Amino acid sequence: MRSVAPFPLSLLAICALSSWTCSAAFSQDSSQFCEVVEDVREGGTFRFRIHPSLPIYAFHLIGDPASNTLVRIEVSRQNDPTIIQTLEAGMGEPPHRGADYFQAEDINFDGYLDIKLLVWWGATGNKGYRYWLFDKETDHFVYDEAFSELCNPIPHPETKTITTSSVGGMAGRVHIFAAFQVMDGKSTVTWEEHQDWTEDGKCFLKVIKERSNGKLEVVSKEIVRDAFWE
Protein backbone atom coordinates (compact mmCIF):
# COMPACT_ATOMS: atom_id res chain seq x y z
CA MET A 1 0.00 0.00 0.00
CA ARG A 2 1.06 3.61 -0.56
CA SER A 3 2.20 5.96 2.17
CA VAL A 4 1.25 9.52 3.04
CA ALA A 5 3.64 12.22 4.16
CA PRO A 6 3.39 12.78 7.94
CA PHE A 7 1.39 15.83 8.93
CA PRO A 8 3.15 18.71 10.75
CA LEU A 9 3.37 18.17 14.51
CA SER A 10 2.12 21.72 15.10
CA LEU A 11 -1.19 20.80 13.51
CA LEU A 12 -1.49 17.66 15.59
CA ALA A 13 -0.89 19.75 18.70
CA ILE A 14 -3.69 22.17 17.78
CA CYS A 15 -6.05 19.29 17.06
CA ALA A 16 -5.24 17.68 20.40
CA LEU A 17 -5.69 20.91 22.34
CA SER A 18 -9.04 21.69 20.74
CA SER A 19 -10.50 18.20 21.14
CA TRP A 20 -13.31 18.20 23.69
CA THR A 21 -14.75 14.98 24.99
CA CYS A 22 -18.41 14.64 25.91
CA SER A 23 -18.19 11.20 27.46
CA ALA A 24 -18.93 12.76 30.85
CA ALA A 25 -22.31 13.81 29.45
CA PHE A 26 -23.36 10.16 29.18
CA SER A 27 -24.62 8.24 32.18
CA GLN A 28 -25.27 4.53 31.76
CA ASP A 29 -27.42 4.35 34.90
CA SER A 30 -29.75 7.19 33.98
CA SER A 31 -29.53 6.60 30.22
CA GLN A 32 -29.35 10.36 29.83
CA PHE A 33 -27.38 12.20 27.19
CA CYS A 34 -26.44 15.81 26.82
CA GLU A 35 -27.65 17.55 23.70
CA VAL A 36 -24.28 17.36 21.96
CA VAL A 37 -23.73 13.61 21.55
CA GLU A 38 -25.30 10.80 19.55
CA ASP A 39 -26.49 7.56 21.09
CA VAL A 40 -24.45 4.81 19.39
CA ARG A 41 -24.71 2.18 22.12
CA GLU A 42 -26.68 -0.18 19.86
CA GLY A 43 -24.41 0.38 16.87
CA GLY A 44 -25.92 0.03 13.41
CA THR A 45 -25.39 -1.32 9.90
CA PHE A 46 -24.22 0.71 6.89
CA ARG A 47 -24.07 -0.50 3.29
CA PHE A 48 -21.86 0.91 0.54
CA ARG A 49 -20.99 -0.10 -3.01
CA ILE A 50 -17.22 0.27 -2.95
CA HIS A 51 -16.87 -0.14 -6.73
CA PRO A 52 -19.33 -0.89 -9.57
CA SER A 53 -17.63 -4.24 -10.17
CA LEU A 54 -18.01 -5.37 -6.56
CA PRO A 55 -20.98 -6.51 -4.47
CA ILE A 56 -22.36 -4.19 -1.82
CA TYR A 57 -20.45 -4.37 1.45
CA ALA A 58 -22.23 -4.30 4.81
CA PHE A 59 -20.52 -2.73 7.82
CA HIS A 60 -21.91 -3.73 11.19
CA LEU A 61 -20.90 -1.19 13.83
CA ILE A 62 -20.77 -2.71 17.32
CA GLY A 63 -21.39 -0.31 20.21
CA ASP A 64 -20.29 -0.31 23.83
CA PRO A 65 -23.19 0.53 26.19
CA ALA A 66 -20.84 1.55 29.00
CA SER A 67 -19.02 4.28 27.07
CA ASN A 68 -21.46 5.04 24.24
CA THR A 69 -18.71 4.49 21.68
CA LEU A 70 -18.18 2.06 18.81
CA VAL A 71 -15.65 -0.67 19.55
CA ARG A 72 -15.41 -2.63 16.29
CA ILE A 73 -16.66 -2.89 12.73
CA GLU A 74 -17.64 -6.27 11.30
CA VAL A 75 -17.58 -6.46 7.50
CA SER A 76 -19.66 -8.77 5.30
CA ARG A 77 -20.90 -8.83 1.72
CA GLN A 78 -24.43 -8.45 0.36
CA ASN A 79 -26.72 -11.46 0.99
CA ASP A 80 -23.96 -13.29 2.87
CA PRO A 81 -23.91 -13.03 6.69
CA THR A 82 -20.35 -14.37 6.90
CA ILE A 83 -18.05 -11.85 8.60
CA ILE A 84 -15.03 -11.52 6.34
CA GLN A 85 -13.16 -8.91 8.36
CA THR A 86 -13.24 -7.29 11.82
CA LEU A 87 -11.82 -3.79 12.32
CA GLU A 88 -10.98 -2.23 15.68
CA ALA A 89 -12.90 1.05 15.82
CA GLY A 90 -10.68 3.03 18.19
CA MET A 91 -13.39 5.63 18.87
CA GLY A 92 -12.20 7.80 21.72
CA GLU A 93 -15.50 9.54 22.55
CA PRO A 94 -19.16 9.57 21.51
CA PRO A 95 -19.82 11.35 18.19
CA HIS A 96 -21.39 14.79 18.31
CA ARG A 97 -25.10 15.22 17.72
CA GLY A 98 -26.00 14.93 14.05
CA ALA A 99 -22.56 13.66 13.04
CA ASP A 100 -22.01 11.60 9.90
CA TYR A 101 -19.74 9.43 11.97
CA PHE A 102 -19.30 6.60 9.46
CA GLN A 103 -18.84 7.28 5.75
CA ALA A 104 -17.35 5.92 2.55
CA GLU A 105 -15.21 8.11 0.28
CA ASP A 106 -12.30 7.65 -2.10
CA ILE A 107 -9.62 9.43 -0.09
CA ASN A 108 -6.67 8.16 -2.18
CA PHE A 109 -8.34 8.56 -5.61
CA ASP A 110 -7.82 5.00 -6.81
CA GLY A 111 -11.43 4.57 -7.94
CA TYR A 112 -12.47 2.51 -4.90
CA LEU A 113 -14.30 3.87 -1.90
CA ASP A 114 -12.55 3.74 1.44
CA ILE A 115 -14.23 3.98 4.85
CA LYS A 116 -13.74 6.44 7.69
CA LEU A 117 -14.98 6.63 11.27
CA LEU A 118 -15.18 9.80 13.35
CA VAL A 119 -13.07 9.09 16.45
CA TRP A 120 -12.68 12.54 18.02
CA TRP A 121 -14.02 16.06 17.59
CA GLY A 122 -13.40 19.48 19.09
CA ALA A 123 -15.45 22.46 20.18
CA THR A 124 -13.73 24.61 17.55
CA GLY A 125 -14.91 22.36 14.72
CA ASN A 126 -11.89 20.09 14.39
CA LYS A 127 -12.58 16.44 13.57
CA GLY A 128 -10.36 13.39 13.34
CA TYR A 129 -11.11 10.08 11.62
CA ARG A 130 -9.76 6.58 11.37
CA TYR A 131 -9.34 5.59 7.72
CA TRP A 132 -9.33 2.11 6.23
CA LEU A 133 -8.36 1.99 2.55
CA PHE A 134 -9.82 -0.64 0.28
CA ASP A 135 -7.15 -2.99 -1.09
CA LYS A 136 -8.41 -4.36 -4.38
CA GLU A 137 -5.79 -7.12 -4.32
CA THR A 138 -7.18 -8.65 -1.13
CA ASP A 139 -10.73 -7.21 -1.12
CA HIS A 140 -10.02 -6.05 2.44
CA PHE A 141 -9.89 -2.70 4.20
CA VAL A 142 -6.48 -1.68 5.55
CA TYR A 143 -6.01 0.88 8.31
CA ASP A 144 -3.97 3.88 7.17
CA GLU A 145 -2.19 5.72 9.97
CA ALA A 146 -1.07 8.72 7.94
CA PHE A 147 -4.52 9.60 6.59
CA SER A 148 -5.89 9.08 10.09
CA GLU A 149 -3.63 11.88 11.36
CA LEU A 150 -5.24 14.51 9.13
CA CYS A 151 -7.58 17.06 10.68
CA ASN A 152 -10.82 17.86 8.81
CA PRO A 153 -9.64 16.25 5.54
CA ILE A 154 -11.64 17.10 2.41
CA PRO A 155 -10.82 15.20 -0.81
CA HIS A 156 -11.04 16.97 -4.17
CA PRO A 157 -11.24 14.26 -6.88
CA GLU A 158 -11.05 16.69 -9.79
CA THR A 159 -7.53 17.77 -8.78
CA LYS A 160 -6.55 14.71 -6.71
CA THR A 161 -5.84 16.94 -3.76
CA ILE A 162 -6.83 16.94 -0.10
CA THR A 163 -7.31 20.09 1.95
CA THR A 164 -7.15 20.10 5.72
CA SER A 165 -7.87 22.63 8.43
CA SER A 166 -7.34 22.95 12.14
CA VAL A 167 -8.64 25.82 14.26
CA GLY A 168 -6.97 26.51 17.59
CA GLY A 169 -9.22 29.23 18.93
CA MET A 170 -9.52 33.03 19.06
CA ALA A 171 -12.57 32.95 16.78
CA GLY A 172 -10.68 31.01 14.12
CA ARG A 173 -7.77 33.40 13.98
CA VAL A 174 -5.36 30.71 15.21
CA HIS A 175 -5.32 28.02 12.55
CA ILE A 176 -3.42 25.81 10.17
CA PHE A 177 -4.69 25.18 6.65
CA ALA A 178 -2.89 22.82 4.28
CA ALA A 179 -3.14 21.18 0.88
CA PHE A 180 -1.89 17.76 -0.19
CA GLN A 181 -1.31 16.47 -3.71
CA VAL A 182 -1.96 12.76 -4.31
CA MET A 183 0.09 11.15 -7.08
CA ASP A 184 0.76 7.46 -7.72
CA GLY A 185 -0.90 6.54 -4.43
CA LYS A 186 1.24 8.93 -2.37
CA SER A 187 0.25 12.20 -0.77
CA THR A 188 2.55 15.16 -0.19
CA VAL A 189 2.00 18.51 1.54
CA THR A 190 2.27 21.22 -1.14
CA TRP A 191 1.02 24.31 0.69
CA GLU A 192 0.46 25.44 4.26
CA GLU A 193 -0.87 28.52 6.00
CA HIS A 194 -0.04 28.76 9.70
CA GLN A 195 -1.40 31.67 11.70
CA ASP A 196 -0.67 32.03 15.40
CA TRP A 197 -0.89 34.65 18.12
CA THR A 198 2.27 36.47 19.21
CA GLU A 199 1.95 37.76 22.75
CA ASP A 200 4.91 40.13 22.47
CA GLY A 201 3.52 41.90 19.42
CA LYS A 202 -0.13 41.57 20.41
CA CYS A 203 -0.86 40.47 16.85
CA PHE A 204 -1.14 37.40 14.67
CA LEU A 205 1.68 36.13 12.50
CA LYS A 206 0.64 34.43 9.27
CA VAL A 207 3.26 32.24 7.61
CA ILE A 208 2.71 30.76 4.14
CA LYS A 209 4.79 27.80 2.96
CA GLU A 210 4.94 26.16 -0.45
CA ARG A 211 6.75 23.06 -1.62
CA SER A 212 9.91 23.75 -3.60
CA ASN A 213 12.87 21.49 -4.32
CA GLY A 214 11.31 18.67 -2.34
CA LYS A 215 10.54 20.57 0.87
CA LEU A 216 8.20 23.19 2.29
CA GLU A 217 9.75 26.65 2.22
CA VAL A 218 8.48 29.92 3.64
CA VAL A 219 7.26 32.21 0.86
CA SER A 220 5.66 34.97 2.93
CA LYS A 221 5.18 36.30 6.44
CA GLU A 222 2.48 38.78 7.36
CA ILE A 223 1.50 40.60 10.54
CA VAL A 224 -2.27 40.44 11.00
CA ARG A 225 -3.77 42.86 13.51
CA ASP A 226 -7.20 42.60 15.08
CA ALA A 227 -8.33 45.32 17.48
CA PHE A 228 -10.55 42.87 19.32
CA TRP A 229 -7.55 40.83 20.47
CA GLU A 230 -5.08 43.66 21.10
Nearest to 140 by CA among 132, 151, 129: 132
Q: Residue 63: inside a domain, yes or no?
A: yes
Separation CA 48–CA 52 (nearest Å): 11
The total number of structural domains in the chain stands at: 1
The answer as to whether 131 is a domain residue is yes
Decide if 213 is inside a domain: yes
pLDDT of residue 1: 39
- pTM of the predicted model, to two decimals? 0.83
Confirm whether 128 is domain-assigned. yes
Question: Taking the chain (230 residues) in consecutive chunks of 10 residues, what is each chunk's mean pLDDT?
Answer: 41 46 44 75 97 97 96 95 96 94 97 97 93 96 94 97 94 94 87 94 94 94 86
In a domain, 3, yes or no: no
* Residue 205 falls inside a structural domain: yes
For residue 21, what is the DSSP state? -
Q: Is 229 inside a domain boundary?
A: no
Is 93 a member of any domain? yes
- Supply the range of the domain harboring residue 38: 9-224
Taking the C-alpha atoms of residue 139 and residue 80, their distance in angstroms, rounded to an integer, is 15
